[in-house]
Structure 1
Amino acid sequence: MTDLITGREDLVLLIYCFILLWVNVSYLREHKKIKESLAEISSEEELDINPHSFSLLLFMMAFSFLRSWLFYILAILITGNLFVIILSAVLFIANVYQILFETSLAKVKKSKVRFYHVIGDTVFIAGFVIYYFAII
């Protein structure tokens, strides 16, 4: 497997960034529809999942690691720029806040943290792709 990646790190990074951009842009395009669908759900119709369960927390963190945190780590290691470090930290903190404190349907309905986080993530990834491939 490493033989497939060796010498093609730029291509793998590009594919990863475009997957992240595709996921983020899809969410932003569907955001209004998602909010409307959430507004139609009453608290009686909530799923029978304990939002405070440890296994759900681990799943959310694993998903966030693959979706955002890994990118932040790569961007910091590749650039070493203080601005990238600060921006990554702010986006990481917003994501962790969302995972830990937006656990009920009522909080998810009211909160805009996820929306702003995805906007910031999208701009950050697009800026990084432009920067990275301009210096190569």
Structure 2
Amino acid sequence: MKKILLALALIGFNAQAEDVYVFPGYDDVGNEMPKKEIIYTLYTSRPCPLPIANQKNLKLADIYNLQRPSKGCWGIALEPTKSQVVVIGEYGSIASDLNLTNFARAKINGSGAYIIQGPAMSPEQYRANVKRYQDSLR
């Protein structure tokens, strides 16, 4: 009986879609993004697995520069638009020239497909962040 409950729990966990950001962005909302085109997958809810400073404030990233992804961590940079992203690779490489306006928001379904939901950050969200920052200076 315990094995059956465990199996059902695992099936239920895998059936849930997971939210991610993928780079490069992809405009084909509702369709699957080809995995071979993905350079970065930024997980929105998985914690950073690397032993680095401020690990608790970072999330898991997959970096596709080899046949299999390497693990990394990502976080939002400390700048007013909240669009700048920093990705740290498992060997300490840093990519700091990434912007959420260039990422797509996707869901990974139970079969592992990346289904595009829209932009990770819309131009409207970006402008609202800029306005909020400008208003805070007044």
With a CA cutoff of 8 Å and minimum separation of 6, indicate the structure with the bigger relative contact order.
1
- Superposed pair shares fold, TM > 0.5: no
| Between structures 1 and 2, the one with greater helix share | 1
| Between structures 1 and 2, the one with greater strand share | 2
